Amino acid sequence: MSTVKLYPPKPEKVYFFGTCLIDVFYPGAGLDAVSLLERENIEVLFPDGQTCCGQPAFTSGYRAQAIDVARHQLRLFDEPWPIIVPSGSCGGMMRRHYPELFDGQPEEQAAKSVAERIFELTEFLVHVCHVRLKDHGPDERVAMHTSCSARREMGLADTGPALLRQLSNVTLVEQARASECCGFGGTFSVKHGKVSQAMVEDKCAAIEAAQAEHLVTSDCGCLMNIDGHFKYRKAKVHGEHIASYLWRRSS
């Protein structure tokens, strides 16, 4: 499926898919994402019963289990509203792989409908809301990490940086090899721990070499990995989900 997306006018309502990591580890980022959307005069609907998008099972080779998990999500978004996902990883799974999973199955049309309505948060703010941010924070040097899935499955290397550049007191710094993986990769970090550790060490070193004071990312898996390593080393750089960073500085 192509990553080219046709963007609609700003809607009155959207669904919000919270993701597992926001639910368990970063609920504040989810609330801040909702606040950003509501500030654009959009009603945000959060269907009860949403769980995982199915990506962990899918990328681990458990296709049948991934279908079972994904099938449950398909039942939650029956109205024709956009579905906002604060994660390029989960967004990529739902936009690109749901049609593949349900090809030829009774849920095929429902899967296509959901996939067509998936928008990653920064993508939606930039291309649909055309948001304009006013910065109320202090001067700060910030590095942006865009996840592999956001870059390669959703084609969204530019939307996060575009939002950060609207903040007048923020200097967006470019770390070396910015497009490289942080080493998280979901189950990759569990199955290949030493390789994952080496990758996040390289990522953190590059961010520090760019003299960043803050690390911002739109994926909680990457945030947990990179910020966790900074905390382990007691580094001066601190990490934050982009939803929380944008809300905190512009509210």
Same domain membership, residue 119 and residue 26: yes
Within a domain: 52: yes
- 3 located within any domain: no
Can you tell me whether residue 215 is helix, strand or coil? strand
46 part of a folded domain: yes
| Contact present, 19 and 51 (Cβ < 8 Å) | no
| 110 inside domain | yes
- Do 159 and 245 lie in a common domain? yes
Give CA–CA dist 192/8, Å, rounded.
41
Query: Amino acid identity, residue 29?
Result: A
**pLDDT given for residue 3 in this prediction:** 46
Tokens of 26: 């970063």
**186 in the same domain as 123:** no
From CA 166, how far away is CA 19, in angstroms rounded? Answer: 27
In the DSSP assignment, the letter for residue 9 is P
231 and 198 in a common domain: yes
User: In this predicted structure, what is the pLDDT of residue 190?
Assistant: 82
The last residue of a domain, from among 95, 127, 159? 127
pLDDT at position 187: 81
5: in domain: no
Whether 41 is covered by a domain: the verdict is: yes
Please choose, from the candidates 133, 131, 58, 72, the residue with its C-alpha nearest in 3D space to the C-alpha of residue 100: 58
Counting the structural domains of the chain, the total is 2
- The domain of 99 spans 13-127
pLDDT at res. 203: 97
Q: Could you read off the pLDDT tens digit of each residue along the chain, which spans 251 residues?
A: 444 578 999 999 999 999 999 999 999 999 999 999 999 999 999 999 999 999 999 999 999 999 999 999 999 999 999 999 999 999 999 999 999 999 999 999 999 999 999 999 999 999 999 999 999 999 999 999 999 999 999 999 999 999 999 999 999 999 999 999 999 987 888 888 899 999 999 999 999 999 999 999 999 999 999 999 999 999 999 999 999 999 999 99
Q: Is residue 70 part of a domain?
A: yes
Q: Is residue 6 part of a domain?
A: no
Task: Supply the pLDDT for residue 221.
Answer: 95
CB contact at 8 A, 221 and 181: no
Residues 195, 219, single domain; the answer is yes
Same structural domain for residues 188 and 94? no
189 and 111 together in one domain: no
Q: What is the structure's pLDDT at 2?
A: 41
Specify the pLDDT at position 5: 74
pTM: 0.95
* 34 and 122 together in one domain: yes
